[in-house]
Amino acid sequence: MLTCLRGGRIVNPANGGERVGDLFIEDDRIVAQQAGRAADQTHDVAGKIVMAGGIDIHSHIAGGNVNTARLLLPELHPGQTPPSRDLPLSTARWSTFETGCLYAKMGFTTVVEPAVSPHHALHAHLELADTPIIDKATLTVLGNDDFLLSMLRKGESGNAIADYVGATLASTRGLGVKCINAGGATAFKYNARAFSLDDVVPHYGVTSRAIVEAMQQAVTDLKVPHPLHLHMNNLGIAGNIDTALATIEAARGMPLHLAHVQFYAYGTEGKRGFSSAAARLAHAVNGAKNVTVDIGQVMFGPTVTVSLDVLRQYNGSRNARPNKWVIFDGDANGGGIVPYDYRRSDFYNAVQWACGLELFLLIDDPWRVFFTTDHPNGAPFTTYPDLLALLMSQDLRSEWLAEMPRSVAEMTTLGSIAREYSLTEIAIMTRAAPAKLLGLRDRGSLREGARADVAVYNDDEDRARMFRDAHLVFKDGDLVVRDGSVTHYRAGRTLEVRPEFDRRIERRLDMYYDEVYRAPRDLFCVHADALPHTAFEQVGLRQ
Amino acid sequence: MPRNACFIDGRSVALAEATHAAAGLIAASRLPVFLIGASDVAGARAAIRLAACVGGAVDHIASEGALRELDVMRSFGKFIVTPSEARNRADTVLLIGSSLTKAWPDMADVLGLAAGPRLALQPGRREILWIGADREEGLARLAGQTIVTADETLPAVIAALRARNAGRRVGLAASELASLDAIVEKLQRAQFGLVVYNPSILDALAIEMVAGLVADLNRTTRFSTISGGGAGNAETLMQTAGWMTGFPVRIGLGRGYPEHDPWRFGARRLVESREADLVVWIASNTAELPVWAAETTLAALTAATSNIPAAKVQITVGEHGRDHDAVEFVRETQSLAWRRASKHSDVPSAAALLDDILASLTREAA
């Protein structure tokens, strides 16, 4: 079927910038206008904004720790709206079904769950299989696992480490690799209460820096498109700007993605010893072309922090709001679930909010800064529309800032920043750049041949309203959202990479699992047979 | 009885007829309760989808114990460790309560209690401590310091232990205090400690006391816990319900959206109060049907090969992990894990049958 979106303002920075004109969709692809052939279906979108479907590179939407958070906090998400008959469980708050629908309503069509520990990968994929409409992908977490740390202790070759990483990506069906406080979770099991870049993991004798370097190299050697995705040490601590700057230096010019950097942009100035160092971090990012970052913006309201940085989560548990938590000493990273309520009137929370916005606004290149709240850690992804509005309006930011403690303005530079994001910059940050970062060659763009993931928005002065309820959303050419309402479910795909590696590592891993876990490794592998409703799509390796 | 047997009122019928009859009962029911005796993820998922369609309630026969553990977590908090991490790291193990090996027969082996921790900084044997010890139990030969007490007085001993660990005074005889203090000293010397408790002899407050003791110990050293009972198959449903509805069981979907209420949606209460007029019993192993479940109309999807006289409709389903591949929660790994069918057969899975029923009801409604 040929569909025409007629007369829209097409914002397509990946290919040609902005133009007013028609966009054609045939089946699941964007196509050129067909000479002499009338469209089977035409939507008049004159005056509306047309973009590729949004891509979220870092949102904790599935997995064992997310599910524990659901069970820990039933009071956080009571629902009282029955769904339509065609969308069962779509109004069940915080369910996978609701997640897929809410993302689609906002015009997002691909989401990456960024923290899947290998032993819970099957669980994560089962949840993603029940997340309708959107395409999904996972990042596999390594860097606190006994097998890797033992390899590093023994000084094994980069090739051997790459084989291990490749085999683990294959068995977990991941799109990329992430390190979360590399070595820190293991050090916590040896009673460390703080862990920095050059601290040594007890028993293994390796530093966090060495782990990160090894993982960066392995990801490069395996030709995985997405660079190592790093959750640095010392998250959330006053003065951790030094950690962030040292980590950027430690990348040695190699590609590196730094996750939710807002949580690392803290100085120690002021009477409370807590200030924004976002300007310094932004300056460093601007100068390090090998580095990309996502922000992890804080927005206000109750949420829950879900992280495999178990050391940080333990330290944060004393500030839990409400006062309950789960600290999971799992295999490798484990994890921690700590509820939290970010308050506008709280000096620290307000500085965090300002830090995130400063980073968005002071990092020059929208191709290297990514739009996240580290859902749900900084805020639920449902706050995205409000955040987009803040990025696009200095006046709106000033209004918000005026409602916060006066001392907040003194500890940040936010009030002095005039920059307002354009629609093109928004489209780069939420579409074109994520596709490039993840190696998704047919997404994030409206060029001919691209996947027909398309969002159409009303050009509403109220940008939050505009981005909350898209006018139309097509997933693979299928119209799934009309005027902010999901019309029907469809199954999304799961994206993965399959790098080449020496298969002999698998035999070694089998023996290791038999000995250490006393269970066949197969038990932890993600078999397609276990996911009858999941269609996997291979993403090409870096050339 | 053949493995594909189906009955209506005890009369042997074909699968299609039995499935049609079960669908009819569900469609006609005012409030069906989907009671799971055992299920894999696919079965749990199908039951929840069907319950969402018809406005039913969902429960598991082992949910009471699982909810007791969950209540501690969601009112206080918990440290949890996997058995493999505990085996590799714990230099000190505090056992709490008797009958631990009854609740978890291969516990000593899984936790490697007789061996030393592989990843400890200082290799050596584990220190095994036991309060509420049972000298008749095999574990006794492994334990060093022990305190024998009756199940009824065990919570008070846990409380006293927590108090002594916090440096508080406790009104006990000197000899009892000495025993407690000896254990406290060893707990505080641990590099990575493990507490294993038997939840079947502890109420929620006592389990919370254990969690509190472990939280206190973590101020200076590392400690974590493993429940010696484990929620068993209920955890498979807990996890599946968590992502599908946002809530753990017990769940009601009568209002069109999920509600979680351990009292309102308890299957036994729903049956005994006559609020529920149909029990859909789902057991893809040989889980035993509770007597009270037959007090109302019963549709049974069970892998048990014996006739259930009380069932209006009975359909034999495959045993998950035996007749068909399955994903279920595994205590040893604390995760959902994949099991290939050990003896693949054509007996339909509970999930397939429930999906068929859902499809037929959806067709009728359209």
Residues of A whose CB is below 8 A from B41: 126
A134 near A475, Cβ under 8 Å? yes
SS (H, E, C) chain B: CCCCCEEECCEECCHHHHHHHHHHHHHHCCCEEEEEEECCHHHHHHHHHHHHHHCCEEEECCHHHHHHHHHHHHHCCEEEECHHHHHHHCCEEEEECCCHHHHCCCHHHHCCCCCCCCCCCCCCCCEEEEECCCCCCHHHHCCCCEECCCHHHHHHHHHHHHHHHCCCCCCCCHHHHHHHHHHHHHHHHCCEEEEEECHHHCCHHHHHHHHHHHHHHCCCCEEEEEECCCCCCHHHHHHHHHHHHCCCCCEECCCCCCEECCCCCCHHHHHHCCCCCEEEEEECCCCCCCHHHHHCEEEEEECCCCCCCCCCEEEECCCECCCECEEEEECCCCEEEEECCCCCCCCCCHHHHHHHHHHHHHHHHC
Q: Does B333 touch chain A (CB under 8 A)?
A: yes
Sequence-distant (≥ 6) Cβ neighbours of residue A427 within 8 angstroms: A11, A12, A13, A51, A52
A472 near A43, Cβ under 8 Å? yes
Q: Are residues B222 and B249 in the same domain?
A: no
Tell me the residues of chain A between 297 and 326 that have a Cβ less than 8 Å away from chain B.
Answer: 314, 317, 320, 323-326
| Tokens 């498979």 -> residue | B236
Q: Does A98 touch chain B (CB under 8 A)?
A: yes
Q: What is the pLDDT of residue B231?
A: 61
Residue of A82, A325, A516 with shortest CB distance to B255: A82
What DSSP assignment string belongs to A444-500?
A: S--STTSB--EEEEE--SSHHHHHHS-SEEEETTEEEEETTEE----PPEEEE----
CA distance A65 to A328: 9
Q: What is the pLDDT of residue B124?
A: 86
Sequence-distant (≥ 6) Cβ neighbours of residue A280 within 8 angstroms: A241, A245, A265, A267
A99 near A128, Cβ under 8 Å? no
Residues of B whose CB is below 8 A from A122: 327, 335-338
Sequence-distant (≥ 6) Cβ neighbours of residue A352 within 8 angstroms: A262, A263, A298, A342, A378
Residue of A64, A97, A516 with shortest CB distance to B335: A64
Of all helices (H) and strands (E), which one includes residue A407? helix A406-410
Helix, coil or strand: residue A195: coil
pLDDT digit string, tens, across residues B48-79: 999 999 999 999 999 999 999 999 999 999 99
Which one of B227, B261, B279 terminates a domain? Answer: B227
Q: Are residues B152 and B282 in the same domain?
A: no
Residue of A189, A327, A519 with shortest CB distance to B192: A189
Residue A423: closest CA among A2, A49, A47, A94:
A49
Calculate ∠ Cα B230-B235-B238, nearest 5°. Answer: 140
Q: Does B35 touch chain A (CB under 8 A)?
A: no
Mutation pick from A128, A331, A489 vs chain B, by most beta carbons of B within 10 Å, is A331
A55 near A430, Cβ under 8 Å? yes
Q: Which domain holds residue B100?
A: 68-227
Q: Are residues B187 and B300 in the same domain?
A: no
Q: What is the pLDDT of residue B2?
A: 62
Which one of B193, B227, B261 terminates a domain? Answer: B227
Confidence of residue B230 (pLDDT cuts 50, 70, 90): low
Judge whether B132 lies within some domain: yes
A274 near A248, Cβ under 8 Å? no
Of all helices (H) and strands (E), which one includes residue A99? helix A96-105
CB pairs under 8 A between A and B: 171
Residue A181: closest CA among A309, A328, A291, A293:
A309
Q: How far is CA A246 from the centre of its chain?
A: 23
pLDDT digit string, tens, across residues B178-219: 999 999 999 999 999 999 999 989 999 999 999 999 999 999
Residues of B whose CB is below 8 A from A146: 88, 119
Residue A530: closest CA among B259, B154, B337:
B337
Residues of A whose CB is below 8 A from B325: 529-530
pLDDT digit string, tens, across residues A233-289: 999 999 999 999 999 999 999 999 999 999 999 999 999 999 999 999 999 999 999
Judge whether B287 lies within some domain: yes
CA distance B252 to B36: 14
Residues of A whose CB is below 8 A from B121: 190, 202-203
Q: Are residues B208 and B311 in the same domain?
A: no
Kindly give the confidence (pLDDT) of every residue in chain A, 543 residues in length, as a single tens digit, with 9 standing for 90 and above: 999 999 999 999 998 889 999 999 999 999 999 888 999 999 999 999 999 999 999 999 999 999 999 999 998 888 889 998 899 999 999 999 999 999 999 999 999 999 999 999 999 999 999 999 999 999 999 999 999 999 999 999 999 999 999 999 999 999 999 999 999 999 999 999 999 999 999 999 999 999 999 999 999 999 999 999 999 999 999 999 999 999 999 999 999 999 999 999 999 999 999 999 999 999 999 999 999 999 999 999 999 999 999 999 999 999 999 999 999 999 999 999 999 999 999 999 999 999 999 999 999 999 999 999 999 999 999 999 999 999 999 999 999 999 998 899 888 999 999 999 999 999 999 999 999 999 999 999 999 999 999 999 999 999 999 999 999 999 999 999 999 999 999 999 999 999 999 999 999 999 999 999 999 999 999 999 999 889 999 999 998
Residue length of chain A:
543
CA distance A229 to B274: 55
Judge whether B210 lies within some domain: yes
Q: Are residues B166 and B133 in the same domain?
A: yes
Q: How far is CA A105 from the centre of its chain?
A: 18
Residue of B45, B80, B238 with shortest CB distance to A326: B80
Residues of A whose CB is below 8 A from B70: 71
B201 near B182, Cβ under 8 Å? no
pLDDT digit string, tens, across residues B259-276: 999 999 999 999 999 999
Q: Are residues B167 and B98 in the same domain?
A: yes
Q: Does B242 touch chain A (CB under 8 A)?
A: yes
Cis peptide before B250 (omega within 30 of 0): yes
Strand partners, A43: A5
CA distance A510 to B107: 24
Judge whether B330 lies within some domain: yes
Residue A366: closest CA among A287, A305, A431:
A431
Q: Are residues B220 and B115 in the same domain?
A: yes
Tell me the nearest-neighbour CA distance from A70 into chain B, angstroms. Answer: 6
Q: Are residues B73 and B206 in the same domain?
A: yes
Q: Which residues of B321-350 are buried (b: 16+ CB within 10 A; e: fewer)?
A: bbbbbbbbbbbbbbbbbbbebeeeeebbbb
Q: Does A346 touch chain B (CB under 8 A)?
A: no
CA distance B175 to B187: 19
> Is the pLDDT score of B1 beyond 80?
no
Round the CA-based radius of gyration of chain A to a whole number and report it. 22
Helices A146-153 and A208-221: angle between axes, nearest 10 degrees: 100
Judge whether B1 lies within some domain: no
Q: What is the pLDDT of residue A222?
A: 98
Which one of B201, B227, B253 terminates a domain? Answer: B227
Q: Are residues B53 and B87 in the same domain?
A: no
In this complex, do A330 and B82 lie within 8 Å of one another by their Cβ atoms?
yes
% residues pLDDT > 90 (chain B): 85
How many independent structural domains does chain B possess?
A: 2
Q: Fill in the amino acid letter for B23.
A: A
What is the CATH number for B199? 3.40.228.10
Helices A278-287 and A347-362: angle between axes, nearest 10 degrees: 20
CA distance B57 to B279: 10
Q: Are residues B247 and B356 in the same domain?
A: yes
Tell me the residues of chain A between 131 and 190 that have a Cβ less than 8 Å away from chain B.
Answer: 146, 188-190
CA distance A247 to A209: 8
Q: What is the pLDDT of residue B305?
A: 74
Q: Are residues B269 and B307 in the same domain?
A: yes
Q: What is the pLDDT of residue B306?
A: 80
Confidence of residue B8 (pLDDT cuts 50, 70, 90): very high
Judge whether B40 lies within some domain: yes
Q: Does B115 touch chain A (CB under 8 A)?
A: no
| Tokens 């979770």 -> residue | A185
| Tokens 């002499």 -> residue | A36
Assigned token pair, A190:
């040896």
Helix, coil or strand: residue A229: strand
Checking A512-520 for CB contacts under 8 A at 24+ apart, the result is A512/A147, A516/A146, A516/B84, A516/B88, A516/B118, A517/A331, A517/B84, A517/B333, A518/B84, A518/B110, A518/B332, A519/B332, A519/B333
Strand partners, B313: B8, B299
CA distance A94 to A101: 11
Assigned token pair, A536:
């996997």
Q: Which alpha helices (H) appear in A317-368, and where do they start and end? A: 347-362
Helix, coil or strand: residue A166: helix
CA distance A258 to A282: 12
Judge whether B101 lies within some domain: yes
Helices B154-165 and B204-217: angle between axes, nearest 10 degrees: 20
What is the CATH number for B23? 3.40.50.740
Q: Are residues B179 and B319 in the same domain?
A: no
Tell me the nearest-neighbour CA distance from A227 into chain B, angstroms. Answer: 28
> Is the pLDDT score of B295 beyond 70?
yes
CA distance A59 to A215: 22
CA distance A277 to B12: 76
